[in-house]
Amino acid sequence: MTRLGSRVRAAVLLPALLLVGCAGLLPEPAPPPRGFDFGPLPDSASTPPLAAGVSLIAVRAPSWLDGPEIRYRQLDRHPAALSAYAGSEWVAPPAELLEQRLRHRLAALDSSANAAVAPARLEIELQAFEQRFESPQQATVLASARASLARRGDIPQTRVFTIEVASTPDVAGATRSLPQAADALVEAILAWLSADGD
């Protein structure tokens, strides 16, 4: 091989060798986020069938809850700061996951006894869905929603539902206890509807 050919080969191989040598110094790529939902849809509970039809229009949420982040708040340090866990998130915004479960339960309680009557319109606004740390060793989760039920010709009835559930102080506790709070929230709304929204 000529001297010129050796120089060309060295010029080509040197950058490749440097890249291989430096590869061990580069940080490991971050693992992809873990996606969580609320688990399997719940079985039908003991809530009695609804006396009249209810049409769920939507479950909405304010902008800070309209994303997949798993939120937590440190009441002992920064009670006004709403933070999110890194590396873990919901597979969809909490309002969307809550709507799926509420529609599932409403379908199980649907009564055709008053099919001739226009169904009441139900709207839900999710107001809080977060884990709360009273201290680094103690946490709960909070789910709160405002329900509005409107029957034709009547003034809409509203009710605020708040569910608090104990949680372990970590992301595993949040992803386990927040779905429990969501299901309890759904059952509380259904019990209210079964009482005809009183």
CA–CA distance, 74 with 130 (Å, rounded to integer) = 11
Helix axes 171-194, 94-109, angle to 10 degrees: 40
Residue 152: predicted pLDDT: 76
In a domain, 4, yes or no: no
CATH number at residue 172: 3.40.50.10610
In a domain, 171, yes or no: yes
In a domain, 24, yes or no: no
For the cut 60, the answer to whether the pLDDT of residue 1 exceeds it is no
Please give the C-alpha separations between residue 38 and each of 104, 149, 163, 181, in angstroms, as whole numbers: 13, 25, 16, 10
For the cut 80, the answer to whether the pLDDT of residue 136 exceeds it is yes
pLDDT digits (tens, 9 = 90+) for 45-66: 666 677 678 899 999 999 999 9
Domain housing 41: 35-194
Residue 196: predicted pLDDT: 64
In a domain, 9, yes or no: no
In a domain, 41, yes or no: yes
In a domain, 13, yes or no: no
In a domain, 183, yes or no: yes
pLDDT digits (tens, 9 = 90+) for 76-116: 999 999 999 999 999 999 999 999 999 999 988 765 555 55
Number of domains in the chain: 1
